[in-house]
Amino acid sequence: MNILLLFHAVIPHLTGKFLAEIFPHNFIENLPYKSVQPYHCIHPNCSCLMSHFEMFPPDRLTPRAICPQCWTKMTSDLSEECWVCGDYLEEWRWKNQKIQPRDLHYRIHGSYCADYFSIISAKALGQDMSFLRDEAHSLTREHPQYIDAQYQKMDPIPINRGPAALPAPNQEGGAYEEFGTESQRLCSARLGASSAAITHRK
């Protein structure tokens, strides 16, 4: 999984939007976009400055927004929980961690979890994030943290809140469940509502 390739693929779908319009609130709580600094480790308990060599290791296909020390500690054990949403991973993902423990593909869900992780990582890697409305607005009452105003007519979809993402080193996981969590379904509902609103305005 090349996080920058994924990042550039999602830009057209996020341009002019707040992250909270697309992604569940627990994503943003677990990995706060506003807390990420360019060229710093994205782990909430670290945030150390990273060198270009650390961010773009020559022996890896994908850049890294997590410092080598945090990455080594975080991938030293199996984790059954997604680093982004906190929900349980599919069985095949965490079982493949035994074979490829340092492969990001087996540490987070695909789809929206991977999209959000790519955005957070891209900011830490120094990419231009000006396409997001989050860059131009602070967290005021106008910021759609819970999407109450824009999506008030939608039926509420509960989110299975998991533990904070990016677990501390050697943290144990729990059981697993099938892919397709409430967080993923909430994303799909919001994207559908957003697309409908754009079509209506046209």
What confidence category does residue 151 fall into, taking pLDDT thresholds of 50, 70 and 90?
very low
Radius of gyration of the chain (CA): 17
Residues with Cβ within 8 Å of 57's Cβ and at least 6 positions away in sequence, in order, are: 64
pLDDT over threshold 80, residue 202: no
> Widest CA span of the chain, in angstroms?
51
pLDDT over threshold 80, residue 69: yes
Nearest CA to 94 out of 78, 83, 109, 111 is that of: 78
Least confident of 106-115, 167-176, 190-199: 167-176
Burial class (CB in 10 A: 0-12, 13-18, 19+), 192: exposed
Could you give the number of structural domains in the chain?
A: 1
* Residue 44 CB-half CA count within 13 A: 15
Question: How far out from the chain centre does Cα 199 lie?
Answer: 27
pLDDT over threshold 50, residue 113: yes
**What integer pLDDT is reported at residue 59 of this predicted model?**
83
Residue, of 130 and 191, whose pLDDT is higher: 130
* pTM, rounded to two decimals: 0.67
**What integer pLDDT is reported at residue 11 of this predicted model?**
94
**What integer pLDDT is reported at residue 77 of this predicted model?**
83
pLDDT over threshold 80, residue 8: yes
Residue, of 165 and 91, whose pLDDT is higher: 91
Residue, of 11 and 173, whose pLDDT is higher: 11
Length of the chain: 202
Q: Domain residues for 94?
A: 3-201
Average pLDDT (50-64) is 89
Asked if residue 134 lies in contact with residue 41, where contact means CB atoms within 8 angstroms, the answer is: no
Q: Where are the beta strands (DSSP E) in the chain?
A: none
